[in-house]
Amino acid sequence: AQSVAQPEDQVNVAEGNPLTVKCTYSVSGNPYLFWYVQYPNRGLQFLLKYITGDNLVKGSYGFEAEFNKSQTSFHLKKPSALVSDSALYFCAVRDENTGFQKLVFGTGTRLLVSP
Amino acid sequence: SQTIHQWPATLVQPVGSPLSLECTVEGTSNPNLYWYRQAAGRGLQLLFYSIGIDQISSEVPQNLSASRPQDRQFILSSKKLLLSDSGFYLCAWSNWNTEAFFGQGTRLTVV
């Protein structure tokens, strides 16, 4: 069965420093990968996705992620963190072997950016 | 453009009462539809997903059921709520190869 692991419950970073939020996945076929952000008591907002093509994908608000097939990872990165980036971040995956129909999320990583 | 509506935003229900949460999508046809539950502001648990009318896949055996009576309508139900059903319920839609778009969620408190 497809799954996503986000090994860090929380990531702390100072404003202006680079940030990384980790994600690894497990699928039977090829993956489609996504990152979302959630602010308190709100639905999820889409940040970026990897479907095919260039392994480095760029998304909203200066975020980017790199697809690494050999390490089955899709880490989220940003060169310079902002206090306003503080939120809950989710990685998600679709599996080719389920027809890409099912969308499974990780447990989330809370990002705290300090001034 | 596509929009997703989910209601109500908040709900307080007594234990043993029924539940019906509704989600509708506009501006697209034959979407994939999803129900998730989020407990205590953390991980999203996939409850049900649907690829078409009356085609529902259940991911977790529990006190809930889902129905899709129309192409763009997805309903989450329970005959008798338990305290453990409390949480933040999120509806989402997507096409098979796109990102999912989420509703604003329903905060359910069972008392």
pLDDT computed for residue B46 by the predictor: 92
Yes or no, beta carbons of A105 and B32 under 8 Å apart: no
Yes or no, beta carbons of A108 and B99 under 8 Å apart: no
pLDDT computed for residue A40 by the predictor: 82
pLDDT digit string (tens) for A69-106? 999 999 999 999 999 999 999 999 998 888 778 899 99
Nearest Cβ partner for B97 among A45, A51, A107: A51
| Shortest Cα distance, chain A CAs vs residue B58, angstroms | 11
CA distance A103 to B100: 8
pLDDT computed for residue A27 by the predictor: 93
Count of residues in chain B: 111
Count of residues in chain A: 115
Yes or no, beta carbons of A42 and B105 under 8 Å apart: yes
Residue A1's closest chain B neighbor by CA? B59
pLDDT digit string (tens) for A12-22? 999 999 999 99
Nearest Cβ partner for A101 among B41, B49, B102: B49
**HEC sequence for chain B:** CCEEEEECCEEEECCCCCEEEEEEEECCCCCEEEEEEECCCCCEEEEEEEEECCEEEECCCCCCEEEEEECCEEEEEECCCCHHHCEEEEEEEECCCCCCEECCCEEEEEC
- Copy the structure tokens of residue A113: 């950016």
Contacts of A101 in chain B (CB under 8 A): 32, 49, 51, 96
What SS3 state is found at B15?
A: coil
What SS3 state is found at B31?
A: coil
pLDDT computed for residue B41 by the predictor: 63
Nearest Cβ partner for B100 among A41, A103, A108: A103
Residue A110's closest chain B neighbor by CA? B42
Please report which residue ranges of B5-56 form alpha helices under DSSP H: none
The answer to whether B99 and B41 are in contact (CB under 8 A) is no
pLDDT at A31 over 90: yes
Q: Give residue A20's identity as a one-letter amino acid code.
A: T
Per-residue pLDDT of chain B (111 residues; tens, 9 = 90+): 789 999 999 999 999 999 999 999 999 989 999 999 998 767 899 999 999 998 999 988 678 999 999 999 999 999 999 999 999 999 999 987 788 999 999 999 999
Show which residues on chain A lie within 8 Å of chain B, measured between beta carbons: 32, 34, 40-46, 49, 51, 88, 90, 92, 99-108
Residue A51's closest chain B neighbor by CA? B97
